[in-house]
Structure 1
Amino acid sequence: MTGPDAETKMQFLYALRSRGIMEQSVLEAMEAVDRGLFLRGIFAARAYEDVPLPISCGQTISQPSVVGLMTQALEVSPRDTVLEIGTGSGYQAAILAKLARRVYTIERHARLVHEARQVFNQLHLANITSLVGDGSFGMPEQAPFDRIIVTAAAEDPPGPLLAQLKTGGIMVVPVGQSDAVQTLIRVRKTETGLEYDELRPVRFVPLLEGLGKDT
């Protein structure tokens, strides 16, 4: 598959800006990563629409504007190590890899990890480590992390993940009941405690413990 033409790319970036993504480094990363590579079959043709689309294992790839807003909220710097909970298609991790020093990403469905790794290799993204595992417990052996992003909804920011966030670090996570609209929040870990910002309503699949049935 070839990447988007210049007009499609221009419209894509305009749509992102119109939805509040203004950070130039984030826009450049999203321009550099072809969303179509993370979709299969008929859905690849819709890669540059601002809509969530189905992927394997009953999951979805988030709409680009939500990916952009979450990435922007993380405030990633080139020296940061990022933990992502919920690899999904791998699209979010690929964008983070353009911005961070290293990205660790955990997914409970082995098939999704396998498919994402193929695209990471195709894009020569050597700074992503993708693992099959229960993301609700994070990755204590690699902690602490500068940034943590969760792409599934929890009722509260997960304690094990907050414990793995560096002081001065940022976590972005959707919070709320799984069958209702959730709120995307940003948590800053300071010397004196946790600071919370509500960003916008979102809808994500629930954060589940254990591994997927395909594992």
Structure 2
Amino acid sequence: MADVALQRRNMVESQVRPSDVTDRRIMAAMTAIPREKFLPGPLASLAYSDEFLTIAPGRETLPPRVLAKLIQLAELEAGDNVLVISEAGYAAALVAQMADKVVSLFADNEAVKTAKEAYASLAIGNVTVVSGAAASGWAAAAPYDLVLIEGGIEKVPRAIEDQIRENGRLVSISLNDKIGRAVVLHKRAGLFARRDAFQAAAPLVSGFAEARPAFVF
């Protein structure tokens, strides 16, 4: 039987730490939390690989090192109220080790079931699992200090913008350029200032695409 605890340590030491992740809280969380609990059974053996994982049609997770860098970019604080939009519950489980309250939003009901079971088995009690369209966010628990989107975006829907508190931030991967870039958007006086960080590829999250002009003959 594979030593998954050793695999987690190896993931941190060989993938995460060499990728300029210096936040010890992130490395501690990734060393402790079993990623395989948030994946379908057939993918469990790939839980600590440095690659995108397709967990269902149209549902992909970021490689662990990219997710770790994205979380570090968010500069989490202990009192933060966070909305995490992802295709699996692992990202929210990591964030929950560093923030006060976390809402984990899924568009897929099977992901909701898997995440709830995983959080319960790991005694993670500060994550609320909800289901709905990603682009609508979750207004019931707003305003948020942070919205973390585990995937790519071309635009931020107004519903999401309105759920971020003043001086709050959104972290995701912008796909507007040919090369994807992790970005943090800081809200100031109702406007968002963008800061680019590292290059990264990511699948586009449903509802976060720019409107395309209709084709005309």
TM over 0.5, yes or no?
yes
The answer on whether the counterparts of 1:3 and 1:36 sit within 8 Å (CA) in structure 2 is no
* Equivalent runs, 1:44-123 vs 2, <5 Å: 44-86=44-86, 88-123=87-122
Q: 1:157 corresponds to which residue? A: 156
1:3 Cα deviation after fit: 6.0
The answer on whether the counterparts of 1:53 and 1:62 sit within 8 Å (CA) in structure 2 is yes
What 5-or-longer segments of structure 2 have no aligned partner? 208-217
1:191 Cα deviation after fit: 4.0
Q: 1:172 corresponds to which residue? A: 171
Q: Which among 182, 187, 190 is matched to residue 189 of structure 1?
A: 187
The answer on whether the counterparts of 1:56 and 1:112 sit within 8 Å (CA) in structure 2 is no
RMSD: 2.3
* 2:8 is the alignment partner of 1:13: no
> Larger deviation: 158-167 or 17-26?
158-167
3-state SS in 2 of match to 1:55:
strand
* 2:216 is the alignment partner of 1:201: no
What 5-or-longer segments of structure 1 have no aligned partner? 210-215
The answer on whether the counterparts of 1:57 and 1:112 sit within 8 Å (CA) in structure 2 is no
Q: Partners of 2:176 and 2:194 in 1: how far apart? A: 18
Cα-to-partner distance string for 1:35-61 (whole Å, 9 max, x where unaligned): 122223342122222222221344122
Paired residues, number: 207
1:12 Cα deviation after fit: 1.6
Q: Which 4+ stretches in 1 moved above 6 angstroms?
A: none
* 2:23 is the alignment partner of 1:26: no
Q: Partners of 2:168 and 2:206 in 1: how far apart? A: 24
- The one-letter code of the counterpart of 1:82 is V
The answer on whether the counterparts of 2:84 and 2:105 sit within 8 Å (CA) in structure 1 is yes
3-state SS in 2 of match to 1:152:
strand
The answer on whether the counterparts of 1:3 and 1:34 sit within 8 Å (CA) in structure 2 is no
The answer on whether the counterparts of 2:5 and 2:31 sit within 8 Å (CA) in structure 1 is no
> Larger deviation: 29-38 or 187-196?
187-196
The answer on whether the counterparts of 2:166 and 2:190 sit within 8 Å (CA) in structure 1 is no
- The one-letter code of the counterpart of 1:83 is L
Q: 2:212 corresponds to which residue? A: none
Q: 1:212 corresponds to which residue? A: none
- The percentage of aligned residue pairs carrying the same residue is 23
- The one-letter code of the counterpart of 2:53 is L
Q: TM-score, normalised by structure 1?
A: 0.86
